Structure 1
Amino acid sequence: MKALILSGGKGTRLRPLTYTGAKQLVPVANKPILWYGIESIVAAGVTDIGIIISPETGEEVKAKTGNGDRFGANITYILQNEPAGLAHAVKIARPFLGDSPFVMYLGDNLIQNELGHFLTDFKEQHMDALIMLRPVPNPTAFGVAQVDAQGRVLHLVEKPKVPPSNLALVGIYFFANTIHEAIDRIQPSARGELEITDAIQDLINHQSHVEARQIEGWWLDTGKKDDLLEANQIVLDTCLQSEMLGEVDSQSQISGRVKIGSGSKLINCTVRGPVVIGEDCHLENCFIGPYSSVADQVTLIDADLEHSVILKGAKVVGIHQRIVDSVIGQRAQLKLAPQRPKALRFMIGDDSQIELS
């Protein structure tokens, strides 16, 4: 069994953050989104992993994620020169996949469910494909499946105007090697891409064994700022464990579940968890409210924030109004001019410098 993780694409919905980096490396609770998928796959017992990368961000993904040693995996990187569809990604990964069955995982998805029991069902029942589904209130925005009472998939359609159900395709699929023949039979869609939904529908049309399972825990697509903040909140709520490796002075107050990385120093700060603070940070005269993630090497002085994500190397100084629902990019600098505005709300890209007046 192998795995294929898709970590290409341009991440247009998360710009400006993704002008300078891969969307799959944007952190949730101070860990790249991509790594959650790798860890989930390895936990299911699959350690031979191919990662699809793009020319724009591939080198960054490789440098950040490495050869897989940190995860107990062996990672092979596969370049997709153009975003020509999910089925195209499978097609170019054929030399890596060979005739092995595999799990395909979209690298900007997060799910709560473990994959192990889905993998067991897929193997024991000798399926050609197993897809993950989740009821959604807006099925027109997703690939949608129609299934029978036994869980067999009858029909798939991509972003239908009149959905046959409210069951959206989650970005996780299990495939036998028969998927390659299906991909060879399909044609590009109207948008010029080889759609994985078309390939799965081709399997169905050829009477192959295609089933679906509904996931029960949370499913998060981190493609937009508010989705990213929601993912950060849910992961902090469900996964964070307190750990104090940094230095906290006697004037600071820490409550709730808070994780502080080594080399970080807090001076006269109030922190109310769940909050994660990375390594080598300097926080002084700050309030850090719930559902905030502060990455490594961040400087916060005279700042007040909650429900926000601050990326590596950012600096926020002298912001006395509370910053909420914000994402501040790597190495961004945010400071306040003498005359202060009444309310603040940001999405700030990497290397930005902003002065409020």
Structure 2
Amino acid sequence: MKALVLAGGKGTRLRPLTHTSAKQLVPVANRPVLYYGLEAIRDAGVTQVGVIIGDTGREVREAVGDGSAFGLEITYIPQAAPLGLAHCVLIAQEFLAEDPFVMYLGDNFLVGGITDLVDAFRGSGHDAQLLLTKVAEPQFYGVAELGPSGEIVSLEEKPAHPRSDLAIVGVYIFSPAIHDAVRAIRPSARGELEITDAVTWLIDNGYSVHSHMVSGYWRDTGRLQDMLECNRIVLEDIEPRIRGTVDGASEVSGRVVVEAGASVRGSVIRGPAVIGAGARISGSYIGPYTSIGDGCVVEDAEVEYAIVCEESTVRGVSRLAYSLIGRNVEVVRAQGMPNALQLMVGDHSRVQVRA
């Protein structure tokens, strides 16, 4: 079995971060979301992985390399434009050959891995197996309708009146039959080859398409609140360790990681929290569910329930919470008069202030 990991796309819901960075590399607990998916694939016993890359391909290549750090063999497959999930299968056929494969959306976050899914598929005789989970608002997802034996009998994309509450998670397993399906379908109204159309083709042509329920936590990390929630879930399970320096004037409590080269001076850190390598925390409060990236500087500030990416500075800010701060960003208190907010904000941003 092989794997096909999708690491292209535009990441429009996480702009402006994703104007300049791959959405799959936005960090959860100081590690890119993509890393968790690659490790889940390896843990399921799959080592040959094709990675679909787009405009941010250079950054993905630099972060993942040849895959040896994960125990994987990586083959990069460029996609000239984001033309749909089924198009990814179409352009990867040479790599996939006649092997069954896992297709994993690189911006999905799944606690518990995919080993159960892979094991259930092996020897099952199914031509496709889709990972599903129950959701409160199925009208915002691709939705599956099941038959009495767990077979998938129909799929709908963001239906106004869903036939079930079972959303399609971004993990699929296919037999080589999917190659016939992606060649047979036509682009949708939005100009993309939809994987739901390909799976529907399999169903309509008598192939066996089955379901598998998510046993753990799942999120599509396309929105700020999803990123922060994934960060919280991972931090809940971290093992505390202090590899950097914490002075006697500081208080560290709960599950806290202070990586090598980081320094904490005259500060309070209440876990779960991670302080990245080389970061400097001075005269500050770092509250629960916070990840401070490598090389960051936090001075005379309070940060809680937030993700601060590497090499960023937060200085003189009385309270920063429920926030995602990108790389090489400065968040500082304005000096002098007038007492006004001074902002330089990129396209597709959102700024929330208290007057």
Shorter-chain TM-score range = over 0.9
Q: Is the 8 A contact 1:28 1:235 kept in 2?
A: yes
Q: Is the 8 A contact 1:17 1:329 kept in 2?
A: yes
> 2:263: which partner in 1?
265
Q: Is the 8 A contact 1:269 1:285 kept in 2?
A: yes
Q: In the alignment, which of 280, 287, 290 is matched to residue 289 of structure 1? A: 287
CA distance in 2 between partners of 1:267 and 1:310 (Å) = 19
Query: Do the aligned partners of residues 348 and 269 (structure 1) sit closer, same or farther apart at CA in structure 2, a change above 3 Å counting?
Result: farther
Per-residue CA deviation, residues 264-296 of structure 1 (Å, 9 max, x unaligned), is 011011100000111001110010000000010
Q: Which amino acid aligns with 1:203?
A: L
- Equivalent pairs, count: 349
CA displacement at 1:115 relative to structure 2: 1.3
Aligned residue runs from structure 1 range 64-143, under 5 A? 64-143=63-142
CA distance in 2 between partners of 1:158 and 1:341 (Å) = 51
CA distance in 2 between partners of 1:341 and 1:110 (Å) = 44
> 1:63: which partner in 2?
62
Query: Do the aligned partners of residues 328 and 348 (structure 1) sit closer, same or farther apart at CA in structure 2, a change above 3 Å counting?
Result: farther
CA distance in 1 between partners of 2:28 and 2:113 (Å) = 18
Q: In the alignment, which of 252, 255, 270 is matched to residue 253 of structure 2? A: 255
Q: Is the 8 A contact 1:327 1:347 kept in 2?
A: no
Aligned-pair Cα RMSD in Å? 2.2
Q: Is the 8 A contact 1:140 1:161 kept in 2?
A: yes
CA distance in 1 between partners of 2:110 and 2:187 (Å) = 29
CA displacement at 1:149 relative to structure 2: 2.3
TM-score of the superposed pair, with normalisation by structure 2:
0.94
> 1:310: which partner in 2?
308
For the residue of structure 2 that corresponds to 1:325, the secondary structure is strand
* Structure 1 residues not aligned, in runs of 5+: none
For the residue of structure 2 that corresponds to 1:100, the secondary structure is coil
Q: Is the 8 A contact 1:281 1:296 kept in 2?
A: yes
**Following superposition, which runs of at least 4 residues in structure 1 exceed 3 angstroms of deviation?**
338-342, 346-350
Q: Is the 8 A contact 1:17 1:349 kept in 2?
A: no
Aligned residue runs from structure 1 range 315-326, under 5 A? 315-319=313-317, 321-326=318-323
CA displacement at 1:338 relative to structure 2: 3.9
> 1:8: which partner in 2?
8
Q: Is the 8 A contact 1:292 1:309 kept in 2?
A: yes
Query: Do the aligned partners of residues 316 and 340 (structure 1) sit closer, same or farther apart at CA in structure 2, a change above 3 Å counting?
Result: farther
> 2:164: which partner in 1?
165
CA distance in 2 between partners of 1:58 and 1:340 (Å) = 45
CA displacement at 1:337 relative to structure 2: 1.9
CA distance in 1 between partners of 2:14 and 2:293 (Å) = 18
> 1:202: which partner in 2?
201
**Which of 240-249 and 111-120 deviates more?**
111-120
Identity %: 46
CA distance in 2 between partners of 1:190 and 1:31 (Å) = 36
> 1:327: which partner in 2?
324
CA distance in 2 between partners of 1:340 and 1:241 (Å) = 46
Q: Which amino acid aligns with 1:248?
A: V
Q: Is the 8 A contact 1:328 1:349 kept in 2?
A: no
CA displacement at 1:216 relative to structure 2: 2.7
CA displacement at 1:340 relative to structure 2: 10
> 1:244: which partner in 2?
242
For the residue of structure 1 that corresponds to 2:155, the secondary structure is strand
Query: Do the aligned partners of residues 127 and 281 (structure 1) sit closer, same or farther apart at CA in structure 2, a change above 3 Å counting?
Result: same
Query: Do the aligned partners of residues 289 and 200 (structure 1) sit closer, same or farther apart at CA in structure 2, a change above 3 Å counting?
Result: same
For the residue of structure 2 that corresponds to 1:308, the secondary structure is strand
Query: Do the aligned partners of residues 348 and 61 (structure 1) sit closer, same or farther apart at CA in structure 2, a change above 3 Å counting?
Result: farther
CA distance in 1 between partners of 2:258 and 2:312 (Å) = 17
CA displacement at 1:114 relative to structure 2: 2.5
Q: Is the 8 A contact 1:44 1:119 kept in 2?
A: yes
Query: Do the aligned partners of residues 107 and 341 (structure 1) sit closer, same or farther apart at CA in structure 2, a change above 3 Å counting?
Result: farther
Query: Do the aligned partners of residues 197 and 284 (structure 1) sit closer, same or farther apart at CA in structure 2, a change above 3 Å counting?
Result: same
CA distance in 2 between partners of 1:152 and 1:335 (Å) = 55
* Structure 2 residues not aligned, in runs of 5+: none
CA displacement at 1:198 relative to structure 2: 0.7
